[in-house]
Chains A and B, each alone.
Chain A
Amino acid sequence: MNAADVRAGVLAELRRIAPELEEGELVPGKPLRDQVDLDSMDWLNFIVALHERFKVEIPEADYARLGTLEATVAYLQERTLDPSQKAAPPRA
């Protein structure tokens, strides 16, 4: 998945949680949680949504790597490219 697709997916999930978010409103490099007013419940819902959309495990210890939109895109790209990092399929 290329960066633009991942970015579009992240923004779509972000907008589901914060519908008031306008296109182009996000300042690159600025922490997401400072810009979008996400509380910890919103943040958890965002992480769950990314997990479901991109089929990757996101351990809590990695939350710090999802600070900005760009960092989130890079993180997800890295995880989706590396097959060992994908969420394990449910066991039969």
Chain B
Amino acid sequence: MIEFKLPSMGADMDEGKLLEWKVKPGDKVKRGDIVAVVDTTKAAVEVEIWEEGTMHEWVVQPGETVPVGTVLALLLAPGEDAATAVRPKPAAAPAPAVERRRISPAARKHAQELGVNLDLVKGTGPEGAVTVEDVEKARAPAAPVDRNLEMRKAIAAAMSRSKREIPHYYLSETVPMLRATEWLARENEKRPVTGRLLMAVLQLKAVALAAAKFPDLNGFFRDGAHQPSSAAHVGVAISLRQGGLVAPAIHDVQAKPLDELMRNLADLVKRARAGSLRSSEMSDPTITVTNLGEGGVEAVFPIIYPPQVAIVGFGGIKQQAVVASVAADHRVSDGHRGALFLAEIARLLQEPEKL
């Protein structure tokens, strides 16, 4: 049997609330299918599965909040059948999880109907079980979750961890942008308004091509070691109108043409602001790009988003030049490599037609 666990969708995520199952028992799934929707502090994230199988049993029900790593559902692997499949033993060291609570099925159903969060309901039944009556009592409106506050806390946790654990070094370089600006203007002149490109797309592609060439600035630092990535899944820092930010990935940026990247970026920004992202977008970024040039900022000295090992910042284009900067993890790379990486980004931006 396959255990479908709640994945970590970013360093700032400890738990998630299951909002909805997208697949019911008996349904077949393949790699990349969206199986569930989970609420994190940042968005309602569509969680994908990366194995093939058939949904067998929902272990966690909508409305429940569980820690990262909790088994959400059991699936049958291809060829397995329910009668013979071996149920995985619970892990020896269960996640620091909340003990499974006793909640009567009727109470669970009632809570769902009323939109009552069972986590907040105190059980008064046998062994602390939550009863229908408890749900009724809890119906009185609880203080609404302050999403902005939650997101602030999540960002605080991730950034504090980064500054505590990662020895950052910072480099910057002024990159001439005349060619890229002129090329982009010529290109956009030929295009209908719906097909125009933004400079951000050229920058993303240049960073991805450079990152693919410098694996020590691309990938993750986990369990005391660097896990380089040959693909550049570039996290794009997107500020949200209500405050806060997310940095979901565009996958395989190094291999995509600019038109496709522009469509991906437009879609990602739209979904990020609508609070609808996918789990792989949240967990896969191997490097992040932040562009703060819109408001007149000259240079950015960003903080690495763990477990990544580098982040690239762009300021605004002024006098046909932009300050590109990198913050990188000194456990993995040295300043010399970071400098070569930045120089490669600068070089790539001088040949926009080849991006």
Contacts and interface: CB of A to CB of B under 8 A. Distances in A.
Contacts, number: 36
Nearest to B185: A60
B199 interface: yes
A60 B191 CA distance: 10
A44 interface: yes
Interface residues on B, range: 10 to 19
A41 interface: yes
Nearest to B191: A60
B194 A48 contact: yes
Interface stretch (A24-32, A51-59, A76-84): A51-59
Given A41-B198, A44-B196, A59 B241 contact: no
B148 interface: no
Interface string A8-48: 00000000001110000000000000000101110011011
A47 to B, nearest CB: 6
A37 B242 CA distance: 12
Summarize B's interface: helix, strand, loop or mixed. Answer: helix
A57 B294 contact: no
B193 A47 contact: yes
A4 interface: no
A49 to B, nearest CB: 10
Interface in B161-197: 185, 188-189, 192-194, 196
Contact of A18 (B188, B198, B241, B266): B241
A61 B265 contact: no
Given A39-B294, A41-B266, A41-B269, A59 B189 contact: yes
A41 B198 CA distance: 8
A59 B294 CA distance: 20
A39 B188 CA distance: 18
A2 to B, nearest CB: 24
Contacts of A19: 241
Contacts of A47: 193
Contacts of A45: 266
Nearest to A61: B189
B200 interface: yes
Nearest to A58: B193
Contacts of A51: 193-194
Contact of B241 (A20, A48, A60): A20
10 contacts: A40-B294, A41-B198, A41-B200, A41-B269, A48-B194, A51-B193, A51-B194, A57-B192, A58-B193, A60-B189
Interface of A: 18-20, 37, 39-41, 44-45, 47-48, 51, 57-61
Return the 6 tightest CB-CB contacts between A and B, nearest first: A60-B188, A39-B294, A51-B193, A41-B269, A40-B198, A48-B193
